Structure 1
Amino acid sequence: MRFVVSKLNTLTSISVIRTNIIRKLSSDAKNKEEEAKEYRKNIVVEKYGAITTVNIDHQKHRNSLDVNTLQELAIALEAFDKDTDSKVLVVNGEGGTFCSGFDIDEIGEKGYNALKDAASRLLRRPLCDKPTIAAVSGYAVAEGFELALACDLRIIEDTAILGCLGRRFGVPQGLFGARRLTSLIGLSRSLDLLMTGRLISGTEAHQAGLASKLTATGTALGESVKLAKSLVKFPQNALIMDKLAAVNSQLNPNSEESMRDEAVFTSLLGNAIEDIKQGVKKFQGGIGKHGKFYKLTEVPLKDWEMEETLEEVKVTIEEKKKNEKS
């Protein structure tokens, strides 16, 4: 009888252990699932030589910015800033939409301030010291519009839709959008968009001066990469200095960021002087003459580039021979 009771106790103990193991495995699986959701990747970074693309991939919610996406975006921007091999950044939205602003559902769940805090990296003026380009397709509205404005240049598709869509819900421009917009297109046009919240097409955005280039549907990313390629060939120190000077004059007058920019200017100046020395040698070797912006790294001159010089030498020699005969 004792043996039977002992056996029953053992079986019960084994059953309890199995149940606990199953619960633990189930709990671990659930935690991993929640962890995967919490740290899902909505920002995809790709590199093409000196060009880096940061792609917002939150297509289920029209590439809206929730806390996780904003944190991932901040990490991507910081990584680009520190990457000495990356010269130009292109910000793009996957699936035909640039960015639809803050995630409304998450604002309802966590509050506006939670997203505003997560977006603090986007408050930097400029967004990055190195050049940034927004490839705008589909919707770029609310904070998505502000993200496009934060970039230095914008390639905008003609069918894109831009505007301060948060006006409908009483959401202000929280990422310096009002200031950036005014510096780009002036007070009168900015007030029209800011106060009415009306949406404009890519074509109207280009007419207002927001687009560096207006392009066809589906080509914004390609055109942005093409523009980026045209920028990486230049000596970067002087380019960054001029960019920061322009941004500073519009967005950071008499501010701490202005002082930071001055410090950057100073650090870049020494390198820029070296670039100038190299530039003089290149020009003396025939590169960039006659206002050409292509093949800035190739020293040998083509035959047609030498024609003018050869002709001048030929004429000089012939004139010298005539003088000797006479």
Structure 2
Amino acid sequence: MTKEDSSKLVLVEKRGTTTIVTINRPHKRNCVNGPTARALYQAFLDFDADPLIFGPLGGNFCAGADLAAIQNQDEANPMSSEWSDSLPGPIGPMGPSRMILSKPVIAAISGFAVAGGLELALWCDIRIVDTTATLGVFCRMRGVPLIDGGTVRLPQVVGRGVAMDLMLTGRPVKAQEALKLQLATCYPTSYEIVNDASALEQALALAASLAEHPQTCLRNDRLSTHFASPIRDAMIKEFELGLETLTSGEFLEAISKFFRETEAKKLTKL
């Protein structure tokens, strides 16, 4: 297998006052491995001074952690439980999900935003979807835990009842239902009708609008919501429980079964 160029795992593009951060692993449905998580974290550190859009490439926002990298020391996601009080915060398994930035981050969701990809979307301040979007806790079927804020942020966004439904079933949520659940929106803001424009186009328009507001007020009001709902302790507990899952025989058996089934499908197509 050809080794990936680490400098191209995450792309950063400047458009006017807006910075677009994109995962660049379309062959993996933009799944995140260790090097990608670290590149994402650095990208958000570098561009904290700008409005940010976290967007899709290759048709998918992010399909979660790269399961093939879990047992590879060089490719595995960062898995430290250390979490200092200093801002913007430490790196998480998916990269920036433990950070508190000084400006808004918009998730432009096309294609899959599932498992760890959903956790990244939940970390963002606003989630924009288009007609291609599918969200969900797909890791439920693989025995993979939500370990990067999913169990904490999802109930905050959609309420505990809906969050339990999505977390326990792992079912897919298409764009129209995501609007209804207020898991995501469109721009101009709508929780009723999915916009025909791409998620990236909508997010760019929203970012331009946000950039026109008085910035000190916007940033401080936004930061206040983060500090009013501290999630650090809850995420540390989530991480502890997730590690217990990852070291269990159930997890290893589920992942082995997944790779056997994937290989069998490949052979069937030949």
Q: 2:65 aligns with which of 102, 107, 110?
A: 102
Q: Which amino acid aligns with 1:51?
A: T
What is the CA deviation profile of residues 198-253 of structure 1, one whole-angstrom value per residue up to 9, with x for unaligned ones? Answer: 11101111100111316446610010000000000111111111111123223448
C-alpha distance in 1 between matches for 2:28 and 2:38: 17
Residues paired across the two proteins, number = 216
What is the CA deviation profile of residues 273-299 of structure 1, one whole-angstrom value per residue up to 9, with x for unaligned ones? Answer: xxxxxxxxxxxxxxxxxxxxxxxxxxx
Q: Which amino acid aligns with 1:92?
A: G
Q: Which moved more, 1:107-116 or 1:184-193?
A: 107-116
Change beyond 3 A, Cα 1:61–1:227: same
Q: 2:21 aligns with which of 49, 54, 72?
A: 54
CA positional deviation for 1:197: 1.1
Q: Secondary structure at the match of 1:134?
A: strand
Q: Which amino acid aligns with 1:185?
A: V
Q: Does 1:192 align with 2:159?
A: no
Q: Which amino acid aligns with 1:116?
A: M
CA positional deviation for 1:175: 1.0
Q: Secondary structure at the match of 2:58?
A: helix
Change beyond 3 A, Cα 1:134–1:55: same
C-alpha distance in 1 between matches for 2:10 and 2:133: 21
Q: Which has more helix, going by share of residues?
A: 1
Structure number, greater radius of gyration: 1
C-alpha distance in 2 between matches for 1:91 and 1:250: 23
C-alpha distance in 1 between matches for 2:226 and 2:199: 24
**1:5 alignment partner in structure 2:** none
**2:104 alignment partner in structure 1:** 131
C-alpha distance in 2 between matches for 1:100 and 1:124: 19
Q: Does 1:226 align with 2:189?
A: no
Q: Does 1:143 align with 2:106?
A: no
Supply the RMSD in Å over aligned alpha carbons: 2.4
Q: Secondary structure at the match of 2:223?
A: helix
Q: Secondary structure at the match of 2:62?
A: coil
Superposition pairs of residues 1-326 of structure 1, within 5 angstroms: 37=4, 39-81=6-48, 83=49, 86=50, 88-110=51-73, 114-117=77-80, 119-120=92-93, 121-124=95-98, 126=100, 128-213=101-186, 215-216=194-195, 219-252=198-231
C-alpha distance in 2 between matches for 1:231 and 1:41: 29
Q: Which one scores higher on RCO, CA 8 angstroms, separation ≥ 6?
A: 2
CA positional deviation for 1:50: 1.5
- 8 A contact 2:131–2:195 mirrored in 1: yes
Change beyond 3 A, Cα 1:254–1:106: closer
- 8 A contact 1:100–1:139 mirrored in 2: yes
CA positional deviation for 1:104: 1.2
Q: Which amino acid aligns with 1:97?
A: N
CA positional deviation for 1:177: 1.1
TM-score after normalising by structure 2: 0.73
- 8 A contact 1:96–1:218 mirrored in 2: no
- 8 A contact 1:125–1:252 mirrored in 2: no
Change beyond 3 A, Cα 1:58–1:161: same
- 8 A contact 1:100–1:144 mirrored in 2: yes
C-alpha distance in 2 between matches for 1:253 and 1:199: 28
C-alpha distance in 1 between matches for 2:77 and 2:103: 28
Query: Gapped runs of 5+ residues in structure 1?
Result: 1-32, 256-326
CA positional deviation for 1:96: 1.1
- 8 A contact 1:183–1:250 mirrored in 2: no
Change beyond 3 A, Cα 1:184–1:115: same
TM-score after normalising by structure 1: 0.61
C-alpha distance in 2 between matches for 1:132 and 1:247: 13
